[in-house]
A and B are shown apart, each in its own frame.
Chain A
Amino acid sequence: MADSGGSEMSDFTATYSETATVESNSNHIGNGSVAYEKVDSEESLRNRRRLNGTAVNHRDEDLRKTTSSSQQNGLNFSKHNTSSGDKESFEEVSLISACLTYLGFYLLMVLGYINQLLFKPKVTKEENREGYVPLYNSFERFYMLYIYRRVRDCWNRPICSVPGAELTLKDRITPDYGWTFEFTGTQTRCLNLGSYNYLGFAAADGPCADDSAKMIEKRGLAYCSSRQELGTSFLHQDLEALTAKFLGTEDAIVFGMGFATNALNLPTLMSPGCLVLSDEKNHASIILGLRLSGATIKVFKHNNMKDLERVLRDALVYGQPKTGAPWKKMIICVEGVYSMEGSIVKLPEIVALKKKYKAYIYLDEAHSIGATGPHGRGIVDYYGLDPSDVDILMGTFTKSFGSAGGYIAGSKRLINFLRTNSHAHWYASSMSPPVAQQIFTSMSIILGLDGTNEGRRRIEQLARNTRYFRRRLAQIGVITYGHEDSPVIPLLVYLFSKIGAVVRTLTTRKIAVVGVGFPATPIMEGRIRFCLSAAHTKEQLDYALNVIDEISDKLGLKYSRKPRDPNPIEY
């Protein structure tokens, strides 16, 4: 970490030696508000900013961001990224806002109980069940009926078009505060900031859609059988070969469902007596797979390498519980881009730990494949590592490729083992032909096999959109989580009311976004999650950003206490 930061800093000093010395000196002075008036060149003019005492600790980070902005918005892919933590930000909210959030939640709970006492909920009840315990968890039920229900119109909204850069929402109203909904019969065309359509391959026309439609005519819709029986065709074999080529591994295996790829293959690879180190923010499918496997699970703090090493070393020293016998094997389970936090895994450090302690790495690239790295090959490509450093590369086709399904890639031996042992390979029905064709065509485009540089263009467009959107949001003064290169951008709003108000207001301004609340996040960290796509144009993003700027004043979303960049952000 230290030397990576150093190299960036030295770049910086080389280019702006004048400004750098001025500003680093003022770091020591830096309390109270300081206005930098020294103007040496055009570059330092751009670096000029005003800050106040509380913000001084964020300064280094900001300087570095300015550096990368001058390298053409960081699109300079020649230098490999390093995982120094300064590109990632998890700004904490003030204590007062935190207390108010909890207070509001308790208020909602109290009101919920009063409401439940006074009125019968408008839902079906189990009858003739004397002596039975309730089948459903009572707190969850209460939460669904009296907290979630009040803002239910912001979730599960029906759409009636392809979710590309824009989508069509089917309008609905609720006459009774979310108990029931009625369709009004009208539709709204909205800008779509909520789909995992990172490379914009979800489209109703274009080569992917045409090829898939042709494949339906040729092969039908399904094989209705598992891969081990009658479900294998040349399509799957070609797709596996192409996936292996795309990722730079020896072999790959594909499955018809991403969730099942995790949930059913992890138990194949692990058994009781194995040790799993799992990030606390891992996806439900990984957690399910790990629980099914019966392995001992140790959870480490999100993206915290010190904690990982501590947990790993402790587990290694004490061995298996009760017996103290050595572990059969150790696996570190992480994701590439975390879909709720917008953070990127610190893979170089994990690879170093893996080599030190002789553990294996299981990397879930569901959100990073296609979306990160100069060639769109995911996190391994992003950090410029060797694919063979990661033992098990898992990913899904559901996001960047605009299709469905999952893969596991790695050494030939690993894949052969999975082919003979995996439940998903033996028992789950195989991938449908048009779905496979969609992946095949989109992957060929990313690889440039179609003879154009369309794939390259999309990857660069996404990287550019991401940087632009994140930096504009920081300028607006809202709190966003995560890494500056991650196309998933959670905007923290904290309160349930604010989730509801933001989603509703943005819908009236023709922008569709996704809110994420309690069961998926901690109680006090409600957020709006933007997912950018290569299909978005600068004009669309500008429109969205202007609206967000406007409403964040109205709704009070400007929680950030970091210094803001006073200069216009270039695209």
Chain B
Amino acid sequence: MIKSITDFINYWYFRYLMVTELYMVEKWERVTIHVIFLVIFLLFWYFNYSVLLSFTGRILGITPISSVLHAATTSKFSAAA
């Protein structure tokens, strides 16, 4: 079971290295590129989360789930009081 999962991961990691041409580069270069990829991914994630999400929410008129929850809890508390 565990072996088949590691096989699966190894296989697709190898295919990923192939497609990005990272298969043929040196180890430190591979690490560098992966760090760069990670940084880019995190930046995108942060951008999407903080800017794009609230922006599209405002355009489409959708209230983010977190503020709904927040409102719900605060109202409950106020009712109890």
- Interface residues of A, Cβ cutoff 8 Å to B: 100, 103-105, 107-108, 111, 114-115, 150-151, 177, 495-498, 500-501, 554-556
Q: Which of B11, B22, B24, B32 contacts A114 (CB 8 A)?
A: B32
Q: List, in ascending order, chain B residues with CB within 8 A of A500's CB.
A: 23-24
- Interface residues of B, Cβ cutoff 8 Å to A: 11, 14-15, 17-26, 29, 32-33
Q: List, in ascending order, chain B residues with CB within 8 A of A498's CB.
A: 18
For residue B17, give the distance in angstroms from its CB to the closest CB of chain A: 7
Main secondary structure of the interface of B (DSSP, over half): helix
Question: Considering only CB atoms, which chain B residue lies closest to A111 in the complex?
Answer: B29
Q: List, in ascending order, chain A residues with CB within 8 A of B32's CB.
A: 111, 114
Q: How far is the CA of A556 from the CA of B26 in the complex (A)?
A: 22
Q: List, in ascending order, chain B residues with CB within 8 A of A104's CB.
A: 19-21
Q: List, in ascending order, chain A residues with CB within 8 A of B14's CB.
A: 554
The answer to whether residues A114 and B29 also contact, given A151-B24, A497-B23, A501-B23 and a CB cut-off of 8 A, is yes
Question: Considering only CB atoms, which chain B residue lies closest to A109 in the complex?
Answer: B21
Question: Considering only CB atoms, which chain A residue lies closest to B12 in the complex?
Answer: A556
Q: Which of A108, A497, A554 contacts B17 (CB 8 A)?
A: A497
Q: How far is the CA of A488 from the CA of B9 in the complex (A)?
A: 37
Question: Considering only CB atoms, which chain A residue lies closest to B23 in the complex?
Answer: A497
Q: How far is the CA of A107 from the CA of B29 in the complex (A)?
A: 11
Q: Would you call B15 and A107 a contact (CB within 8 A)?
A: no
Q: Would you call A150 and B24 a contact (CB within 8 A)?
A: yes
Q: Would you call A150 and B19 a contact (CB within 8 A)?
A: no
Q: Would you call B25 and A108 a contact (CB within 8 A)?
A: yes
Q: How far is the CA of A114 from the CA of B26 in the complex (A)?
A: 12
Q: List, in ascending order, chain B residues with CB within 8 A of A495's CB.
A: 18-19, 21
Q: Would you call A103 and B18 a contact (CB within 8 A)?
A: no
Q: Would you call A177 and B26 a contact (CB within 8 A)?
A: yes
A-B contact pairs, 17 of them (CB 8 A): A100-B20, A104-B19, A104-B21, A107-B20, A108-B21, A108-B25, A111-B29, A114-B29, A115-B29, A150-B24, A495-B21, A496-B21, A497-B18, A497-B19, A500-B23, A501-B18, A501-B23
Most buried by A among B23, B24, B33: B24
Question: Considering only CB atoms, which chain A residue lies closest to B26 in the complex?
Answer: A177
Q: How far is the CA of A115 from the CA of B28 in the complex (A)?
A: 10
Q: How far is the CA of A151 from the CA of B22 in the complex (A)?
A: 12
Question: Considering only CB atoms, which chain B residue lies closest to A96 in the complex?
Answer: B19
Q: Which of B11, B24, B26, B33 contacts A496 (CB 8 A)?
A: B24
Q: List, in ascending order, chain B residues with CB within 8 A of A103's CB.
A: 20
Q: List, in ascending order, chain A residues with CB within 8 A of B26's CB.
A: 115, 177
Q: List, in ascending order, chain B residues with CB within 8 A of A555's CB.
A: 15, 18
Known pairs A111-B29, A497-B24, A498-B18 / 11 extra A-B pairs, C-beta < 8 Å: A100-B19, A100-B20, A108-B21, A108-B24, A111-B25, A114-B32, A495-B19, A495-B21, A496-B24, A497-B18, A556-B19
